[in-house]
Amino acid sequence: MNKIERVKAALNIEEVDRVPSNLWMHHSTADQDPRTLAELQVEFAKNYDFDFIKLMPFGLYGVQDFGAKIKIFNQLNKPPIIADYGIHEIEDWGRLEVLPAYHGTYGKQVQLAQYVSRLTNGTIPFIQTIFSPLTNARKLAGDRIILDMKENPQIFKQALQVITDTTINFVKANINAGVHGFFFATQCANYDYLTEEEYKEFGEYFDLQVIEAYKDITYFNVAHIHGDEAMFDLIEKYPINCINWHDRWSSPSLKEARLKTNKCLLGGIREVPYYNEKKEITRDSLLISGTVSEVERHVIEAIEQVNGKGLIIGPGCVADQFSIDKNIYAIRRAVYNYQIGERAIAI
């Protein structure tokens, strides 16, 4: 199988020659220049023989053009942060206007997709990262959105529609650029932030508009639920064919998720440190502090939870940029070793 065939088979819950895999992380020394970032991501995927590329524009790309002030460091493991929100009072929501896809920072991410398309020339699937409209609203204004959605729902929804229409413009431009799908990330679909009713009103309604713009056009469409207490059962029903969440440190596990859905599961790698009951770090991420054999066992445990079916190995979210080389290779070794073992048993 080539990479496209392998990924498509996993998405369709079909037999694969080996479980497809990937690891993604921010590249904060390069993510302000689309050509450099494209070259780095393609090289990274080739070096480790990963099966797809998740484009990694910096996480605030969707709000800079709406007026958020961004502090950029261009340093390893130090991604851009919000220096000043773009929304300070309720009236600011009403000033948002729908942006074209090639505008400013959005346009750079379209260029990123164009460069990756040229560099890969149809040999490896690649998907663009997009954020839910409510997630971008939160990044644009901070947690004042909780108050705004309760006290001024009409103007807040109007702003969400502007963000939604802008995102759809961006989606269409990325399709034209050659992406094979989208990694749709929501950072608000968790019960410790909103109730399910609130999310359906201010999240789901706008999410589905975005997903409808590509669901019948691209074949590799992931929904990512960020944070603990994930609204898994709600997001799983979205018209996507793959779902990603923090399966190694929050519920459900891969095994539990397989009982809930027949969609492809993307996960199996714990990307965060280990904590005690006091939420103190007791150990760095396995990708930093683990041995090769520990990483291999970790990956094989994930594969065995679903018997290698309908699974793509990857992190629950972005991996640490200090992940060490031998442990990234160990992810690939584990996948190969699992398949070799299966064939040996069959013989």
pLDDT digits (tens, 9 = 90+) for 32-63: 999 999 999 999 999 999 999 999 999 999 99
Separation between Cα atoms, residue 20 and residue 101, nearest integer Å: 31
Separation between Cα atoms, residue 124 and residue 179, nearest integer Å: 10
Chain center to CA of 334: 22
Residue 322 — φ and ψ, nearest 5°? -90, 10
Residue type, position 165, single letter: D
pLDDT at 267 over 80: yes
Task: With residue 314 as reference, give the H or E element that holds it.
Answer: strand 311-315
The secondary structure of residue 328, as a DSSP letter, is: H
| Joined tokens for residue 242 | 């793959």
pLDDT at 155: 98
Q: Above pLDDT 90, what percent of the chain?
A: 95
pTM: 0.96
pLDDT at 289 over 50: yes
Q: How far apart are the first and last CA of the chain?
A: 21
Give the side-chain half-sphere CA count within 13 A for 97: 3
pLDDT digits (tens, 9 = 90+) for 97-134: 999 999 899 999 999 999 999 999 999 999 999 999 99
Domain boundary assignment for the chain: 3-264
pLDDT at 343 over 70: no
pLDDT at 346 over 90: no
Q: Which residue has the tokens 């594969």?
A: 303
Q: Above pLDDT 70, what percent of the chain?
A: 98
pLDDT at 122: 96
pLDDT at 226: 97
pLDDT at 339: 75
Q: What is the DSSP string of 255-306?
A: HHHHHH--SEEEEEE--S-EE-TT--EEE--HHHH--HHHHHHHHHHHHHHT
pLDDT at 347 over 80: no
pLDDT at 341: 60
pLDDT digits (tens, 9 = 90+) for 160-202: 999 999 999 999 999 999 999 999 999 999 999 999 999 999 9
Residue type, position 27, single letter: H
pLDDT digits (tens, 9 = 90+) for 219-264: 999 999 999 999 999 999 999 999 999 999 999 999 999 999 999 9
Separation between Cα atoms, residue 125 and residue 270, nearest integer Å: 23
Task: With residue 183 as reference, give the H or E element that holds it.
Answer: strand 181-186
Q: Does domain 3-264 have CATH number 3.20.20.210?
A: yes
Q: Please confirm whether the linkage preceding 125 is cis (ω < 30° from 0).
A: no
What are the strands, taking DSSP E only, across 51-170? 53-54, 69-71, 81-84, 126-131
Q: Residues 6 or more apart from 292 whose CB is under 8 A from it?
A: 326, 327, 329, 330, 333
| Contact present, 40 and 30 (Cβ < 8 Å) | yes
Separation between Cα atoms, residue 323 and residue 326, nearest integer Å: 9
Separation between Cα atoms, residue 271 and residue 224, nearest integer Å: 14
Average pLDDT, the chain: 96
